[in-house]
C-alpha cells in the first residue's frame, strides 16, 4: 500500500531530505510532497507570475494565493501529514497546515523540540502523535507497514 | 503526481488547446477535461439523444440535463479547476462551474481580462488565484511541481 | 415552521421589497436576508473599513472580502435561496450565489425573464425551480406551507 | 438574526471586553464565546480536574484535553470566528483555531498588527477578511446587519 | 426535546391525521410535516404556478420541480422520517423519500403491510425500524421520550 | 479517463448485457457493476450463507443484509449510476438505489418506458437525465468522452 | 448557551441521576438525554412493539432496531457526549456510542475506573478527555461556562 | 475491481491468516490490512518510539497515539471492514473500530460466536451483516464478485 505524505513545516534546513533518506533506507513505499521550500521563490512567486504589486502587503497576498493553491492541491492528495516545528521563527504556516490537516481528518504527526512543548500543547493534543525527531516520525510511518 | 484539471469557461476560441500545448512544453503530468466545446453540439445534444422537444425552453432544458451530467462527472474526477472568462457573452456557465468548484473545495484558478475585474470581483476573491492569461494559469500549475 | 430565505441577485430595483410585501400579504412566516443592496456602499465597503487601497483592483478585492463574508454568514443561516436575474448587467454574483447554494444543497429558486432562458439554461436545470416573476417565486414558497 | 461569534486569540489583554463593548454600542445581536482567558486557570485546568501529573509534558497534555474540548464545543456553536494576533508570543493556538475554523467553513476575520503581515500572509489569505483593529472587525460584523 | 417528523408516503387515505391524533393522545412534542397530500393539487402545481405546459411530460416535470423543492426544504428540517407504503400504487416517491432520508442519516421508520414484505425487503433492511401500523410507528417515537 | 458505472434496476431481462455490448461497440472505457442479477440467488443468499431462517420475513432480511452490503460497496466505487425501470414489478430497489445515488451526488441516468412517466416524475426530476432506452443512456455516457 | 449532553454507558446504577444532580447544583444550563435505562424495557422493546419473535436472536434484533433509532435521534441532537464504563459487563454499546460520537465530531468525555485503563486505552486516546468520576466529567462541562 | 479490507478484531489467534488463505482459494482480488497483531509490540510501541513514560497510564497513552494513527490511515484506505469478536477479552477496540467504520459509511461485517449475540445486538444491528465464522464473512465478500 503506497501512501502520500505531506511534509508541512519549516523550510530553513534540510529536514525533508532526511525524511526521504530514512524512508529510502527503511524501504517504505512513501511519496513525499511539500510546500515550496525555496524561501525566496515562495515569497516572490506572486510577483513572478502576476507582475509587480503596489507594496509589500499586496506582494505578500499575491504570493499567498499561489502558495495556498499549491498546499490545497497537495494536501488533498495526501494520506498522512507530518508537521515539523523548529526552534526559530513564528511558523504560523506550520500551525495552519497541521490544524487544517487535523480538521480534514488527515492522520497527523507533529515533530517539535522539547522547548516548544508548552506553546504547542493544544495542537499536539489534537494531532495523532507528537515526536521530537524526524527519525521518530518515520518510525511511526514504518509501524503502519509492520 | 498526476493531476486532472477541469477547464471551465468560454468555448468560442482555442484557449484549451493553448493550455494543453503549454502543459506539454512544460512537461507537466496533467490530464485536461472540459465541457463540450462544440457550441452547436452542446446546444443540440438534448434533441440529438432525447428527440425533438416542443419548443426552445424544452430543447434547452433537455440539452442542459446532459451537459450538466457531463460536467458533474468530470469535475468530480478533477483535482484543480481553471475557469476562463472572455470579454464577450454572459458566460454564466463559467461562473456557475467556478462557484460549484470552489464550494466543493476544488482548488480554482480564474483567468479573466482586466476589463472584467469589477464584475468578477467577488468570484475572484473566492477563487484561489486570479490571472489574466492562460500562460499565467499554467505557471501556477507548474509551481505545484517545483 | 419558520424559514429563512436568502435573496440573491440584482440590486438595481426594489424586487426584494416586493418579495417581502407579498410574503406579508400571504402571511408566510419567512425571514429574508440578502447581500448589501446599496450599490455604492457595496463597492466602497472595503476602503470604508480597511482604508484607502492602491488602485481599483485592490479596492475591489477589499470590498469583496467583506461582501463575501456577509454572504457566507447569511447563506449558511438560510433554508431556501431565491436568485433573481434581470435583463441588464453581467450579474455574475447572482450566478455565483445560486451555484454555491445549489452545491451546498440549499433548495434554490431562479427568477429570470424569458430573454435569459438560453444563457441560463444549465443553471436553471440545476436549480429546483425556475420562474419568471417574484410572484411565482412566492407562490412556490407558499406551497411549502399548504 | 442572532449570531454567535467565537473570539480566538491572545488572552493577555482585554480585547474581548472591547469587542463586547463596541457590539453593545452598535446594538448588534451578537453572543460572544471564547477560550478560557485566565492564563493560570487554562494552564492548570488539567491538574485541577484530573489530579497531579508526573511532569510538565503530562500536565500540559491534561490541560489541553480540556481546553480543546471547550474550544470544540464553542466553535461548533459559532457562526463567525474572530482571531486576534498580538505582537508577542507564539500564539499557535490562535493560528490553530483560525485554521480549524476556516477548514470548517466558518466565516473568519483575522485581526493583526501590521508588523505581522508577512508571517501571517498565508493564513490571512485563507481567512475572509484581515483587519488591524477590533473596531474594524466589529465594523465588518455590523455590515452583516445593514 | 421537540422533534420534527417528515411523513413520507401515500396520500390516498388519512393516515397522517391518525398519526397526529395518536401523537396528541400520547402528548408527544412532535411537529409533523409532509408532502402535498391533495393529489390534484400536487399534480397540477406546476401549471398552476408556471402556466400551461406543452404536454403531459412537461406538466409532470413542472409539478415535480415544485414538489421536490417542498420535500427538500421540509426533510432538511426534520429529525425523523416515517415512510408509509400502502397496498396499492407504485409509490416510488415513498421509496425515493425513504432512501434519500436514510442516505442523509435521518432516522427512518417504514410502515408497510405484510403483503409488501418481500418487495420492500432491501429498503426495510436499510431503515432503522419497519412496522405494520401507524400505532407502532408512534410507539417507536414515544419510546424516545421514555 | 476510465469510469465505473453502477447498473441499478430490474433483473428480469438482459438489458445489462445490451449496455455492455453497446459500450464495447462505442469503445467506451467503462467498467460496469451491478446488483446480483440471478433472482433466485439474490433471494436465497441469506440462507445460503447464514443458514435456515425461521420464516419468510427473516429469510428476506438475511438476504437483504448481504444484498445491501454488495450494493453499498459497488455504488461507493462508481462514478455514474444508470437505473432502469421496466413495465412490471414494483421495482422499489431501483427507486431506492437511484435515490441513494442522487443523494450521494452520483451523476444518475434513469431509463424508463413512457408508461411510467407519471409515477416516476419526481425521481426523474431529481436525476440528471431520463431516457427511454439503453441506447440513449449509452449515448449520454459517450457524450462525456466527445 | 444551552447544551444538550448525551449520557452513554451502563444502565445498572444511578450515575445519570448523579450527573443531573451535580449539574443542578452547579447551575449549568444542560439538558441530558440517554439510552433507555430500564434494562428490561430495553431488552423487550422489540417484542413490545413488533410482537413476538421466533427466538432470541430475532427478539434481540427487533429490540436493537428501536434502541438504535432512539440513540441516533438523541445523539444527533446532542452537543457533547459523556460515556461511562463500569467495572462489570462487556459494555459494547458504550464503546459503540463513544466511537460513533467521536467519528461524528461530537466532543466526548469518557468516565472509567482505573481498572479499565488498559483495555480502553485506544478509545480514551480518541476521546477529548478521560476522567474517573462523574464529578470530574461535570467539572469539565462547568469549565465551558467559566 | 480490487477491494481493500480492514480486519478489525482480536489479535490472539490466527484468524487473519485464515481469511487470507480462504480469499486466495477463492481467487478474490482483495488486499487485507489490519491493526498490529503482535500484542507485545502493540502495547510497547509508544515507549519503543517515544521513550520511557512515567507510568502505565502514560505508556498506554503513548502506544495508543501510534496505534490509532495506524488504524486511521488503514481504515481510510479500506472499502470494507470485517470486525471479529472472540469469546474472551473485553475487545473494546473491536467495538470502537466497527462503530467508527459504520459511522464513516464503510460497509461492515461482524463475526462473532453465538454466545455474544446479546451483548453485541445493537452493534450487529448497525453493521451490514453479522456472521459466525470467517468462512461466512468471505462468502459475503465473494458474493460481491458473482
pLDDT of residue C12: 80
pLDDT of residue G89: 82
Give tens-digit pLDDT for A39-60.
Answer: 999 999 999 999 999 999 999 9
Report CB contact under 8 Å: D122, A68. yes
pLDDT of residue E79: 98
Q: Does a structural domain hold residue F42? A: no
Give tens-digit pLDDT for A64-99.
Answer: 999 999 999 999 999 999 999 998 888 999 999 999
Structural domain range at position B91: 3-35+77-144
pLDDT of residue D13: 86
Give tens-digit pLDDT for E46-66.
Answer: 999 999 999 999 999 999 999
Helices (H) and strands (E) in chain F, counts: 6, 5
Q: List residues bridging with H82 in a β-sheet.
A: H7, H109
User: Averaged over C26-45, what is the pLDDT?
Assistant: 97
Q: Does a structural domain hold residue D112? A: yes
Cell of B140: 501556477
* Mean pLDDT in consecutive groups of 10 residues from the start of chain B, 146 residues: 96 93 98 96 97 95 98 98 92 97 98 96 98 98 98
Does an interface of 3+ CB pairs under 8 Å exist between G and D?
yes
Which residues of B have a CB under 8 Å from any CB of F? Answer: 4, 31, 33, 36, 38, 41, 45, 48-50, 65-66, 68-70, 72-74, 76-77
pLDDT of residue A13: 86
Q: Does a structural domain hold residue H134? A: yes
Residues near G39 by Cβ (< 8 Å), separated by ≥ 6?
A: G11, G12
Q: Is the pLDDT of residue H13 over 90?
A: no
Q: How many domains does chain G have?
A: 1
Residues near H2 by Cβ (< 8 Å), separated by ≥ 6?
A: H29, H30, H31
Q: Is the pLDDT of residue G82 over 90?
A: yes
Report the alpha-carbon distance of residue A74 to residue A107 in Å, rounded: 15
Q: Does a structural domain hold residue D70? A: no
pLDDT of residue D90: 84
pLDDT of residue B12: 80
Mutation for testing the B interface, residue in F6, F106, F140 having most B CBs under 10 Å: F140
Q: H or E element: which one contains H139?
A: helix H134-144
User: Averaged over G129-136, what is the pLDDT?
Assistant: 98
Whole-complex ipTM: 0.96
User: Averaged over G45-68, what is the pLDDT?
Assistant: 97
In contact, A12 and A86? CB cutoff 8 Å: yes
pLDDT of residue E12: 80
pLDDT of residue C40: 96
Q: What is the CATH number of the domain that holds E109?
A: 3.40.50.450
Sheet of strand E129-131: strand arrangement: E30-33, E3-9, E80-84, E108-111, E129-131
Query: For residue H90, what pLDDT band results from cuts at 50, 70 and 90?
Result: confident
Q: Is the pLDDT of residue H45 over 90?
A: yes
Q: H or E element: which one contains G91?
A: none
Q: Does a structural domain hold residue C44? A: no
Instruction: Work out whether strand E108-111 and strand E129-131 pair parallel, antiparallel, or are unpaired.
Output: parallel
Report the alpha-carbon distance of residue F137 to residue F111 in Å, rounded: 7
Query: For residue G13, what pLDDT band results from cuts at 50, 70 and 90?
Result: confident
Using a CB-CB cut-off of 8 Å, the residues of chain H touching A109 are: 69
Q: Buried (b) or exposed (e) across B38-76, using 16+ Cβ within 10 A?
A: eeeebbebbeebbeebeeebbbbbbbbbbbbbbbbbbbe
End-to-end CA distance of chain C: 12
Greatest distance between any 2 Cα atoms in chain G: 54
Identify which of F96, F104, F124 has the shortest CB distance to residue E122: F96
Q: Does a structural domain hold residue D64? A: no
Give tens-digit pLDDT for E85-119.
Answer: 998 888 999 999 999 999 999 999 999 999 999 99
Q: Does a structural domain hold residue A91? A: yes
Identify which of C57, C67, C90 has the shortest CB distance to residue B90: C90
pLDDT of residue C8: 98
Cα–chain-centroid distance for residue B91? 10
Report CB contact under 8 Å: D129, C72. no
pLDDT of residue D37: 95
Length of chain D as a residue count: 146
Which residues of C have a CB under 8 Å from any CB of D? Answer: 4, 31, 33, 36, 38, 41, 45, 48-50, 65-66, 68-70, 72-74, 76-77
Q: Is the pLDDT of residue A63 over 90?
A: yes
User: Averaged over C70-98, what is the pLDDT?
Assistant: 96
Its pTM stands at: 0.97
Q: Is the pLDDT of residue F90 over 90?
A: no
Mean pLDDT of chain E: 97
In contact, A107 and A133? CB cutoff 8 Å: no
User: Averaged over A119-137, what is the pLDDT?
Assistant: 98
Report the alpha-carbon distance of residue D143 to residue D30 in Å, rounded: 13
User: Averaged over F94-119, what is the pLDDT?
Assistant: 97
Mean pLDDT of chain A: 97
Cell of D66: 480540556
In G27-104 the beta strands, taken as DSSP E runs, fall at: 30-33, 80-84
**3-state SS, residue G78:** coil
pLDDT of residue E137: 98
Query: Left (φ > 0), alpha (ψ -120 to 50) or beta: where does E111 sit?
Result: beta
Shortest Cα distance, chain C CAs vs residue A134, angstroms = 39
Q: Which chains touch G (3 or more CB pairs under 8 A)?
A: D, E, F, H
pLDDT of residue C140: 98
Report CB contact under 8 Å: B66, F143. yes
Query: For residue C15, what pLDDT band results from cuts at 50, 70 and 90?
Result: very high
User: Averaged over G52-74, what is the pLDDT?
Assistant: 97
Of C122, C128, C10, which Cα lies nearest the Cα of B96?
A: C122
Q: Does a structural domain hold residue F95? A: yes
Instruction: Report the range of poorest mean pLDDT among B137-141, G55-59, H11-15.
Output: H11-15
Amino acid at each position: 500500500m503506497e501512501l502520500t505524505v505531506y511534509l508541512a513545516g519549516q523550510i530553513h534546513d534540510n529536514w525533508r531530505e532526511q525524511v526521504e533518506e530514512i524512508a529510502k533506507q527503511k524501504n517504505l513505499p512513501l511519496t513525499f510532497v511539500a510546500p515550496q521550500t525555496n524561501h525566496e521563490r515562495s515569497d516572490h512567486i506572486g510577483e513572478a507570475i502576476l507582475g509587480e504589486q503596489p507594496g509589500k502587503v499586496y506582494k505578500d497576498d499575491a504570493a499567498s494565493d499561489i502558495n495556498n493553491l499549491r498546499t490545497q492541491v497537495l494536501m488533498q492528495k495526501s494520506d498522512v501529514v507530518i508537521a515539523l516545528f523548529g526552534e526559530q521563527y513564528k511558523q504560523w504556516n506550520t500551525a495552519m497546515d497541521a490544524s487544517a490537516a487535523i480538521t480534514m481528518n488527515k492522520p497527523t504527526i507533529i515533530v517539535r523540540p522539547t522547548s516548544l512543548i508548552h506553546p504547542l500543547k493544544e495542537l499536539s493534543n489534537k494531532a495523532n502523535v507528537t515526536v521530537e525527531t524526524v527519525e521518530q516520525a518515520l518510525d511511526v510511518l514504518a509501524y503502519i507497514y509492520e
